[in-house]
Amino acid sequence: MANNITTHQMPFIDYYKILGLDKTATEADIKKAYRKLARKHHPDLNPGDAAAEKKFKELNEANEVLSNKANRKKYDQYGKDWKHADDIEKQRQQQKQYQQAGRAQGAAGSFDEGDFSEYFQSMFGGSGGGQRGGRSVKYKGQDVVADMQIELIDALNNNTQVIQVGDKKIRFTIPAGIEDGQSLRLKGKGGQGMNGGPNGDLIITFHLINNTAFTRSGATLYSTVPIDLYTALLGGHINIDTLHGSVKLKVAPETPNGKKVKVASKGFAKYKKEGDYGDLIITYEIILPTKLTDEEIALFTTLKNLRTNG
């Protein structure tokens, strides 16, 4: 199976940088910068431009955070951890309470550094009292996102793969019928949790490379099949290729150019339904003979006269 996988941690986004501002920006500055850049990168003005669409989403996210006073304050204070600001503040208050309780116990108090929350030891230096009986906030580990390229044929049936993420080998199954751009979330296969919290997830987005002669729409496949003029006029049989092997089809007499025929269950896999396939829709393309001999021209002329005078 041809594949190429790239993994990376979810990045910290500098919302000020996205808007071209610094932390001293006023509400008016934020509003003005957002409007200007949003107009420039709006998808309606940049059809088909993936970079502009990504930039537009980043601008909306930055504006949503920085235009909200409460969220901006949290973002300015805690940066990438701003979404956990309320929990951090709660822990900070608990820390103060335990410090006060520790001082009240005197030199022979029952608190010691070993009881102190690992979270605060890393966040606040871990000094000054402990938290016997207290509970530190559990944080889920960071999600890891990955991109994987596979060939279309490799998604026709369930496909088991083993990938390396950091020092871990992860075995997983690509479900039959997965779509281009679709993602799978593998629970607990991402970054390690904090304070006993759950691990993050591994999110894999698939990019399908179509090296076949078929066009795909969900579980339906489409293809164009050439037939000669004589078979189209008189009828007959032809063999066509499918992703499931060769199939023999009957061509009805007087088949017009562009006629569509459905070949049942010879299409693509239905998502997560291995062994259950959609249909193949073929379009006949009649191929006219070329480099006619004098005898052939005479015969076609005779046929023309018969049709004209008939």
pLDDT tens across the length of the chain (310 residues): 444 455 544 556 788 998 999 989 999 999 999 999 988 888 888 888 888 888 888 888 888 889 888 888 888 887 766 777 776 677 667 666 655 655 555 544 444 444 444 444 444 444 444 444 445 678 888 888 888 999 999 999 999 998 887 788 999 999 999 999 999 999 999 888 888 889 889 999 999 999 999 999 999 999 999 999 999 999 999 999 999 999 999 999 999 999 999 999 999 999 998 889 999 999 999 999 999 999 999 999 999 999 887 5
> What is the spatial distance between Cα 281 and Cα 261, in angstroms, rounded to a whole number?
6
Which residues lie closer than 8 Å to 301 by C-beta, 6 or more apart? Answer: none
CA 59 to chain centre: 20
- Rounded to whole angstroms, the maximal C-alpha distance in the chain is 121
In contact, 225 and 238? CB cutoff 8 Å: yes
Residues paired with 226 in a beta bridge: 285
State if pTM tops 0.85.
Answer: no
Q: Would you state the structure tokens that stand for residue 83, as one six-digit string?
A: 């979404």
Closest CA to 277 of 207, 216, 226: 216
What does the DSSP assignment read for 59-124? HHHHHHHHTSHHHHHHHHHHGGGGGGHHHHHHHHHHHHHHHHHHHHH-TT-S--GGGS-HHHHHHS
Cα R_g (the chain), whole angstroms: 33
What does the DSSP assignment read for 14-68? -HHHHTT--TT--HHHHHHHHHHHHHHH-GGGSTT-HHHHHHHHHHHHHHHHHTS
